[in-house]
Chains A and B, each alone.
Chain A
Amino acid sequence: MTEVLGSADALAARIPDGAKVALPPDYSFCANALVRALIRRGAKDLHLVGVPAVGYQADVLIGAGCVATVETAAVTLGEFGLAPRFTAAIKAGTIRMLDATCPAIHGGLQAAERGAPFSVMRGLIGSDILARRPDWKVIDNPFADAEDPIVAIPALVPDVTMFHAPKADRLGNVFIGVRRECMVMAHAAKAAFITVEEIVDGDLAHAPETASGTIPGLYVSAIAEVKEGAWPQGIPGGYGPDLAHIGRYVEMARSEAGFAQYLQETVLGAEAAE
């Protein structure tokens, strides 16, 4: 049974230190209320997996000292440029970086959702990404007539998938529409903790207009209703990103002191649990 919890903080309490946590990219469904709750909880040593890239969520978690490892194809704040706390941590050598390329992340998760040991993918051969990933192997295509090297990506199994979706029902079915990377992330992970804009009556997995874009509660460990839970990012099809806030974040996060002040104002301070 999917648990229905009362807050983002209640979800964050279920995500252990050291967990491998899959996050969607900035243009998808970012659970930023849950990110803030993880920081309030004092989460440590997280291994973030950006599917396939990640932005603000990772930068804030890194700056707050919650992260040991980042595995992704890119960390970017889009038009706002480089992610300042990520960049500082890499230069200081305080986090481990596993550089990937987008379809390798997708391929690893797809192997995991199939219960298969690996996926194969074209590309990568001759790159330093591959040279620095001893966990990825070049194998010979067994079906080719001639030599045909191809890269095997092992199954990528997150301990936790977290994101913020438009709606869920009380059975734990979560509607994600066309943001189907969230579907793969939920299938592949051992647990999925999802905040939603609203919890609705009925059964989203059996209503014809929502069924094809709905993750069945089977894959969903717990949900919580959190209004504007993506803020300061937007939710596609809903509200837009708070560009003024993100711009201010980028300014403040340039220095450690500025970032600490940002955390105090936005995450830890007067504002209570979400």
Chain B
Amino acid sequence: MSDQVQLEEILIGSIAGMLDGLGHVAVGASSPVPGAAALLTRARSNGATRVSVLGSENHNFFTDGAKELFDCAGQGRIDAFFLGGAQIDGKANINLVSIGDPDRPKARFPGSFGSAYMYYVVPRVILFRLEHTPRTLVEAVDYISAPGVSEPGVHRPGGPHALITDRCLFSFDKSRARFTLASVHPGHTVEEIAEQTGFDYDLPEGGVPETAAPDAESLALIRGPVAQQLAEIYPSFASRVFGIDKAA
């Protein structure tokens, strides 16, 4: 690990900025960067923000089995959650299942997990996708694991808040079902985002800012206790990004 701020650290800091002040943040399967962001938020709040990481023995409140996360979310006890997608479209529909005909797909992914529930009931869902290309950010997904917005009359207290990629951060306006480019990560440009995004989105008035890197205090927390905590849950990620070779 060099002293230079890594992309993962910018993403962790940027996501944590969207979680500060929340009461309970939950993190689902295969989500090391969101997991680190949630743990950073908890560290910065001196423990005021609760964090539940699925698959963790040490950072997980649940004692009632795999269903408890969903029951808890359905009651409104979870303020933020993370979802990804092999494809994400301009209306924030997400596809975690397949490309092409679902019965004989060109590509098949693990599946929808809890997305077709959590996306509806958790107020602040942050979409996370590390491959930002026209192949992944598309005009319309091939399969809707969970829709970005719902028809009037459908119970929908939750939904998308933002989409963060390896190139930029988009915010989402539920009333218009559209993304706006909120900031561009260091080393990337507004023109490049236009080329690499398959859906239409809005630009903010007055220009697009650069995504801020985490401050020194946050960076120290990320590289210290957060990285150690993460190693229990995501050993390969912690090894690759933070050079930690064994779970603490």
Q: Which residues of A contact B235 (CB under 8 A)?
A: 79, 243
Give the CA-CA distance A155 to B102 in the complex, in Å. 25
How far, in Å, is B82 (CB) from chain A's closest CB? 15
Residue B45 is within 8 A (CB to CB) of chain A in the complex:
no
Q: Which residues of A contact B151 (CB under 8 A)?
A: 125-126
Give the CA-CA distance A51 to B70 in the complex, in Å. 13
* B236/A79 in contact, CB under 8 A: yes
Give the CA-CA distance A6 to B108 in the complex, in Å. 40
* Interface SS majority for chain B: loop
Give the CA-CA distance A75 to B142 in the complex, in Å. 19
* A129/B145 in contact, CB under 8 A: yes
How far, in Å, is B88 (CB) from chain A's closest CB? 14
> 0/1 per residue, A208-249, Cβ < 8 Å to B?
000000000000000000000000000011000001000000
Q: Which residue of B lies closest to A86 (CB)?
A: B108
Q: Which residues of A contact B115 (CB under 8 A)?
A: 101
Residue A14 is within 8 A (CB to CB) of chain B in the complex:
no
Q: Which residues of A contact B116 (CB under 8 A)?
A: 101, 104, 123-124, 127, 129-130
Q: Out of B55, B63, B143, which one reaches A128, CB within 8 Å? A: B143
Give the CA-CA distance A181 to B109 in the complex, in Å. 24
> 0/1 per residue, A105-140, Cβ < 8 Å to B?
010001000000000011111111110100000000
Q: Which residue of B lies closest to A76 (CB)?
A: B110
Q: Out of B63, B70, B155, B236, which one reaches A103, CB within 8 Å? A: B70
Interface centre among A24, A53, A93, A236 (most CB of B within 10 A): A53
Task: State which of B4-12, B117-125, B160-168, B193-201 sits at the interface with chain A.
Answer: B117-125
Residue B29 is within 8 A (CB to CB) of chain A in the complex:
yes
* A106/B111 in contact, CB under 8 A: no
* A149/B145 in contact, CB under 8 A: no
* B150/A128 in contact, CB under 8 A: no
* A149/B153 in contact, CB under 8 A: yes
> 0/1 per residue, B60-82, Cβ < 8 Å to A?
00111111111100100000000
* B146/A123 in contact, CB under 8 A: yes
A53 and B111 contact, Cβ closer than 8 Å, known pairs A78-B29, A101-B116: yes
Residue A256 is within 8 A (CB to CB) of chain B in the complex:
no
A53 and B110 contact, Cβ closer than 8 Å, known pairs A122-B74, A127-B116, A147-B153: yes
Q: Which residue of A lies closest to B142 (CB)?
A: A128
* A99/B104 in contact, CB under 8 A: no
Q: Which residues of A contact B147 (CB under 8 A)?
A: 126-127
Residue B189 is within 8 A (CB to CB) of chain A in the complex:
no
Q: Out of A73, A147, A237, which one reaches B113, CB within 8 Å? A: A73
Residue A200 is within 8 A (CB to CB) of chain B in the complex:
no
Residue A82 is within 8 A (CB to CB) of chain B in the complex:
yes
> 0/1 per residue, B187-211, Cβ < 8 Å to A?
0000000000000000000000000
A52 and B153 contact, Cβ closer than 8 Å, known pairs A27-B55, A74-B113, A103-B117: no
Residue A44 is within 8 A (CB to CB) of chain B in the complex:
no
Give the CA-CA distance A181 to B112 in the complex, in Å. 19
Q: Which residues of A contact B155 (CB under 8 A)?
A: 122, 148, 150
* A90/B108 in contact, CB under 8 A: yes
Residue B103 is within 8 A (CB to CB) of chain A in the complex:
yes
> 0/1 per residue, B115-147, Cβ < 8 Å to A?
111111100000000000000000000011111
Residue A166 is within 8 A (CB to CB) of chain B in the complex:
no
Instruction: Please list the 5 inter-chain residue pairs (A to B) with the smallest Cβ-Cβ separation, ordered nearest first.
Output: A180-B65, A74-B111, A123-B117, A101-B116, A76-B110
Residues of B within 8 A of A (CB): 29-30, 54-55, 57, 62-71, 74, 96-98, 102-106, 108-121, 143-147, 150-151, 153-155, 234-237
Residues of A within 8 A of B (CB): 24-25, 27-28, 51-53, 72-76, 78-79, 82-83, 86-87, 90-91, 93, 99-104, 106, 110, 121-130, 132, 146-150, 178-184, 236-237, 243
Extra A-B contacts (6), CB below 8 Å, given A52-B114, A90-B105, A122-B155 = A83-B110, A103-B70, A106-B70, A124-B120, A127-B145, A180-B66
